């Protein structure tokens, strides 16, 4: 009789425990899905392999135009926790996040950051420029949001996440300082960063380099002939040595600027390719946030100094 009671109790415990709401996969890991690689990298730095993380947008992908595929929707549905940038960066995915947000934690890494720290969008009045990752000190606020949300969803690993977050935030402090020192090496008259679209506004504000984009803040609008002509005049007048292309934006517009300068007798070169809205390949240094920032700064300084 005792044995029967014991088996009955054990059976109930198994049934009960398998019915417990649990945020984790069968392997015990929280399933985290992010939109951009930059956010994915923040998750990895804080959670390591204690979560099963994946990014929807790989190298060279333009988040402004990105639409969720059927495969993405499956990943999002299976996720325990979702991170996206917000501030309309993922302009075509708003509805998906809104729906999923009713049933699971869907967190914008830009939420709860004071509006006063954001740049106003020149293209869409009343909204903010979403490219906050190019001011390393501002991106730290996004990393803190990622940390907070990971702890909320997986409190058992809190100490581990806290330790990693502290270490990573210190690394970002060093990175911020290093970028400042590197940009200061460019002669003041050459401190102008010209690219295809305005991804670098925060970068310019944070590190004292003037930024001119052809395309406005989003990549949705094509630059007009007047935009090209204005930029050509600016480059010729200031004898700017180099302009830059971006890995997630078409080269066409910036080539038109180079040609326009040539017609006016000024040679401007393409100073290299910058990572703007997507990082380099996963597994390489440029495929990490810190590596991406370093690579950009090196490209900019080498071409303009
Ligand atoms: Zn962009």
What are 93-120's pLDDT values in tens digits? 999 999 999 999 999 999 999 999 999 9
CA–centroid distance, residue 48 to ligand 1 (Å): 27
Q: How far is the CA of 303 from the centre of ligand 1 (A)?
A: 22
Q: Is the pLDDT of residue 68 over 60?
A: yes
The pLDDT > 90 percentage for the chain reads 76
Q: How far is the CA of 23 from the centre of ligand 1 (A)?
A: 33
- Whether residue 156 has pLDDT greater than 70: yes
Q: How large is the average pLDDT for residues 146-170?
A: 98
Between the CA of 85 and the centroid of ligand 1 the distance, in Å, is 11
CA 199 – ligand 1 centroid, Å: 5
Distance 257 CA to ligand 1 centre (A): 19
Ligand 1 center–CA 222 separation, angstroms:
13
Using 50, 70 and 90 to split pLDDT, how confident is the model at 67?
very high
Residue 221: its pLDDT value, please?
A: 63
- For the chain, give the percent of residues with pLDDT over 70: 87
Please state the rounded mean pLDDT for residues 73-89. Answer: 97
Question: How much distance in Å is there from the Cα of 183 to the middle of ligand 1?
Answer: 22
Domains of the chain (ranges plus CATH)?
2-178 (3.40.50.1980), 183-304 (3.40.50.1980)
pLDDT for 224 equals: 74
In the reported structure, the alpha carbon of residue 64 is separated from the centroid of ligand 1 by a whole-number distance in angstroms of 6
| Cα of 131 from ligand 1 centre, angstroms | 6
* Distances in whole angstroms, Cα of residue 3 to Cα of each of 9, 248, 269, 296: 10, 66, 84, 69
- Confidence class for position 7, pLDDT limits 50, 70, 90: very low
Across all residues in the chain, what is the average pLDDT? 89
pLDDT at 78 over 60: yes
Q: Please tell me the predicted confidence (pLDDT) of residue 268.
A: 96
* 219 has pLDDT over 90: no
Compute the distance from residue 249 Cα to the ligand 1 centre, in Å. Answer: 9
Query: What's the confidence (pLDDT) of residue 260?
Result: 94
| Mean predicted confidence (pLDDT) in 159-172 | 98
pLDDT of res. 135: 98
For the cut 80, the answer to whether the pLDDT of residue 2 exceeds it is no
């Amino acid at each position: 009789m005792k044995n029967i009671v014991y088996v009955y109790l054990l059976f109930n415990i198994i049934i009960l425990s398998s019915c417990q709401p649990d945020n984790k996969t069968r392997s015990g890991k929280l399933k985290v899905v992010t939109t951009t690689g930059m956010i994915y990298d923040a998750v990895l730095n804080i959670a390591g392999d204690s979560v099963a993380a994946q990014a929807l947008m790989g190298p060279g992908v333009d988040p402004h135009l990105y639409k969720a595929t059927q495969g993405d929707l499956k990943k999002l549905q299976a996720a325990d926790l979702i991170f996206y940038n917000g501030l309309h960066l993922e302009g075509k995915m708003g509805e998906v996040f809104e729906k999923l947000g009713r049933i699971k934690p869907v967190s914008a890494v830009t939420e709860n950051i004071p509006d006063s720290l954001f740049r106003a969008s020149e293209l869409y009045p009343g909204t903010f420029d979403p490219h906050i990752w190019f001011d390393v000190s501002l991106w730290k606020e996004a990393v803190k949001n990622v940390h907070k949300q990971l702890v909320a969803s997986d409190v058992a690993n809190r100490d581990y996440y806290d330790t990693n977050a502290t270490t990573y935030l210190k690394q970002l402090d060093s990175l911020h300082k290093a970028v400042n020192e590197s940009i200061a090496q460019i002669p003041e008259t050459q401190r102008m960063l010209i690219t295809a679209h305005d991804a670098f506004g925060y970068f310019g504000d944070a590190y004292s380099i003037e930024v001119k984009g052809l395309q406005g803040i989003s990549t949705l609008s094509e630059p007009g002939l007047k935009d090209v002509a204005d930029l050509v005049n600016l480059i010729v007048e200031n004898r700017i040595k180099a302009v830059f292309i971006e890995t997630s934006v078409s080269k066409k517009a910036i080539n038109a600027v180079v040609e326009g300068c040539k017609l006016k007798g000024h040679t401007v070169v393409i100073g290299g390719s910058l990572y703007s809205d997507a990082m380099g390949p996963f597994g390489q240094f440029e495929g990490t946030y810190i590596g991406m920032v370093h690579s950009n700064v090196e490209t900019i300084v080498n071409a303009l100094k």
